[in-house]
């Protein structure tokens, strides 16, 4: 983990808490945000991936607990995605790719995250189309594979897809995404650890992220507004995308 001056470490910690808060409030673990933040602070690539997955497990777990507590979880919407995505995430976590290719893939998915935050975070549309299990299995496999490869839980991709297909409203999607991310992140870090060493420093950021994750999950499950925070996060993601792509 990077050695930072105390004042820089404070700024990093505050940003980490804010990202965890925002993502947990919409049922996500925050991996894409953590990736952006750590990339902006020049953390090594081999540290970013496992750390993002580890933080994902804790934050998405908290988020799922609170969304389920308020009766937003739909098991029938969850399990087809999970059946296909979890083994694919394990496989993706085991796959090692070139650092430059990894950066390009991360930048792409961060751009997807920007679109998700800008255009789908306030979506509350009710179910409109029949649920297709075969399509859900195929989508789950693809999301799981790429999520395991780049170190995210996949919820940032799953949410807009489910909403666009009309398979669930925003609160249902948040609850499903949280458990989806939790399961994929465990599978991803398991696959990664089979072929790579996970530094103990990756666990040091958990208490910091948990602060934001806890409050985000509590308030998010009660329909708080994230308008200001989502634009701040969008700027962070745009900067990270630029850095990953061109620097």
Residues 228-237: pLDDT tens digits?
A: 656 766 776 7
Most distant CA pair in the chain: distance in Å?
54
Q: Where are the alpha helices (DSSP H) in the chain?
A: 6-25, 31-40, 45-69, 75-94, 99-120, 133-150, 155-165, 170-195, 206-220, 227-246
Mean pLDDT for 171-182 is 88
Q: What is the Cα–Cα distance from 95 to 228, expressed in whole angstroms? A: 37
Give 136's pLDDT tier (boundaries 50, 70, 90). Answer: very high
Residue 25 Cα to chain centre, angstroms: 12
Residues 81-118: pLDDT tens digits?
A: 999 998 898 888 877 777 677 777 777 877 877 777 67
Q: What is the Cα–Cα distance from 43 to 144, expressed in whole angstroms? A: 24
Which residues contact residue 110 at a Cβ distance below 8 angstroms, ignoring those fewer than 6 apart? 32, 35, 36, 237, 240, 241, 244
Give 60's pLDDT tier (boundaries 50, 70, 90). Answer: very high
pTM of the predicted structure, to 2 decimals: 0.80
Give 120's pLDDT tier (boundaries 50, 70, 90). Answer: low
Give 127's pLDDT tier (boundaries 50, 70, 90). Answer: very low
Q: What is the Cα–Cα distance from 246 to 67, expressed in whole angstroms? A: 39
């Amino acid at each position: 983990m990077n050695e930072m001056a105390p004042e820089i470490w404070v700024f990093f910690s505050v940003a980490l808490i804010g990202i965890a808060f925002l993502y947990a409030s919409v049922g996500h673990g925050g991996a894409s945000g953590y990736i952006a933040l750590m990339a902006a602070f020049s953390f090594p690539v081999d540290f970013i991936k496992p750390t993002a997955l580890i933080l994902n497990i804790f934050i998405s777990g908290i988020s799922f607990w609170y969304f389920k507590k308020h009766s937003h979880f739909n098991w029938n919407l969850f399990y087809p995605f999970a059946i296909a995505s979890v083994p694919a995430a394990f496989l993706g976590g085991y796959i090692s790719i070139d650092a430059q290719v990894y950066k390009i893939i991360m930048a792409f998915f961060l751009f997807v995250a920007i679109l998700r935050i800008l255009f789908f975070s306030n979506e509350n549309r009710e179910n409109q189309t029949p649920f297709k299990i075969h399509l859900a299995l195929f989508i789950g496999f693809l999301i799981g594979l790429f999520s395991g490869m780049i170190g995210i839980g996949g919820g940032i991709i799953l949410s807009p897809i489910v909403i666009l297909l009309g398979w669930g409203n925003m609160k249902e999607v948040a609850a499903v995404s949280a458990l989806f991310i939790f399961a994929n992140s465990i599978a991803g870090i398991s696959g990664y650890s089979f072929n790579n060493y996970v530094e103990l420093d990756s666990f040091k950021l958990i208490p910091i992220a948990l602060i934001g994750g806890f409050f985000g999950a509590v308030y998010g499950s009660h329909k708080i507004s994230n308008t200001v925070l989502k634009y701040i996060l969008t700027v962070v993601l745009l900067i990270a995308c630029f850095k990953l792509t061109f620097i």
